[in-house]
Amino acid sequence: MSHARISIDRDFTIAEVPHRLFGSFVEHMGRCVYTGIYEPGHPDADDQGFRKDVLALTKELGATVIRYPGGNFVSGYNWEDGIGPVGNRPRRLDGAWHSLETNAFGLHEFVDWSKKAGTEIMEAINLGTRGVEAAREIVEYANHPGGTYWSDLRAKNGHRDPFDIKLWCLGNEMDGPWQIGHKTASEYGRLAQEAAKAMRLVDPDIELVACGSSNSGMPTFGAWEQTVLTHAYNEVDYVSLHAYYQEHDGDAASFLASAVDMDYFIESVVATADSVRAKGKHKKHINLSFDEWNVWYQRGSDDEDQPEQVNNSGWREHPRVIEDKYNVTDAVVVGTLLNSLLRHGDRVKIANQAQLVNVIAPILAEENGPAWRQTIFHPFARMAELAKGQILRTNVVSDKVETAQFGGADLVDVSATWNEENGRIALFFANRGLDEAADVEVALRGFDAGRVTRAEVLRVPEGGDRFTRNTLHAQDQVGLVPLNGVKAAGDELKLTLPALSWAVVELEVGKN
């Protein structure tokens, strides 16, 4: 049996849980929009063509803010193509994902969908093929009350009241050579600075996210952030991070320790941003927007139901691309990535799991068919529900798991929150061990443990293994079930985590 001892203290908090930490992402890619959130003619579609089953699952997931419309897609996108009468909208070739974009779904539709989903909008602008003028114009169209060309056109197109979008991304992954309109750090930094200035002249209350590195392995990582922020520090509020993880060649141990890399990535960007702050003698801090993260298998698969990949056929509408099917192992990794984001909530103020439906997503939806939860849905939904109030600093003394990529990593990974309003602590655990259960003791310093109100663990069905997943024909094989044997008394909590598991424990506490 493996062991871990965790200490939390009422007086050692990190920050308030950021509301936008549990965000998602809708891109015009594959079947995320078309036959994902939007499918006129579906038996469960509403009068605007929005799938009500997907809307219900989005609300259950607890997504708070949705980034739109890309992603790589946005770097070749003309936002004006998605407004006005649908019958008059142009059909375009989308070079980013080698598909045919009908533009039947655009800004107005997304605003309406977001209202029904109860989510904030995080709008991305095209700084690949376009620039300052288009950036200024979309803010005027979306946010100006009226009396100008673009605001009056919005009213003519059916929305008299402003959309009041306050969160904007200044392009997408501009450090990547794959990006349409790829730029050097200096080229992008100056463009982002000038676009930001023009956008704020229209609406001074907006918040702006500059593009950081696409991943921590980019050859320009670090230098990119330093150069971009040297140009645009005064004009932006956040810098972005993107990261995707997968299991390589059966190396489950390294995959399960992926959050070690996420920790490094976050802390490196914080250090770089603060260095620019010091050098430039700036007063404000630049916070982080981890606006793309997930498990994504970016290499081929032998699975018979693996969707076709990009660029292997002609131009078609919403082809099936990167519709990864997630298993138990993937869900445990997603739980640890969420832990990393939460532990860094003092600086990571926005995070978006990519994407919401069908495309590397927690939700799968079949055309003219059902929608269901993937395994990775469960840790996200429960953390979005229960992680409220203050983030608690966690001190972990744990047995280690040896990994090829990261050396020794804690066998037990954890994050914790304290909601003083309802008097409850929530702890989110992962056991990275493939074979052994782990006994866990939690020292509750400054707290007096009361009733355990929730104790759940991700279920692996009888006869299943770490590769078990939810499918069209077995949609609920993997879910959350009660975690038995949790004991809380005085200043201590004790539990046993099954091998390869994600679990949540919520308990009432008093102060001592």
Write out the catalytic residue numbers.
173, 292
SS3 122: strand
| Residue in the structure block whose two tokens are 């607890």 | 62
- Give first-to-last CA distance, the chain, whole Å: 32
Q: State the Cα angle at 90 between 116 and 311, rounded to 5°.
A: 90
CA dist., res. 232 & res. 218, Å (int): 21
Max Cα distance, the chain (Å): 70
Structure-block tokens of residue 200? 């704020």
Q: What is the dihedral of CA 303, 99, 290, 262, to 10 degrees?
A: 30
Residues in the chain: 512
Strands 412-419 and 424-431: antiparallel
Judged on CB neighbours under 10 Å (0-12, 13-18, 19+), 144 is middle
3-state secondary structure 240-268: EEEEEECCCCCCHHHHHCHHHHHHHHHHH
CA dist., res. 478 & res. 341, Å (int): 24
CA dist., res. 361 & res. 380, Å (int): 11
Structure-block tokens of residue 42? 């579906």
Output the DSSP codes for 307-332.
Answer: PPPTTSS---BS-----PPPBHHHHH
CA dist., res. 300 & res. 43, Å (int): 34
C-alpha Rg value of the chain to the nearest Å: 23
Buried b / exposed e over 362-388, threshold 16 CB at 10 Å, is: bbbbeeeeebbbbbbbbbbbbbbbbbb
| Residue in the structure block whose two tokens are 């102060």 | 511
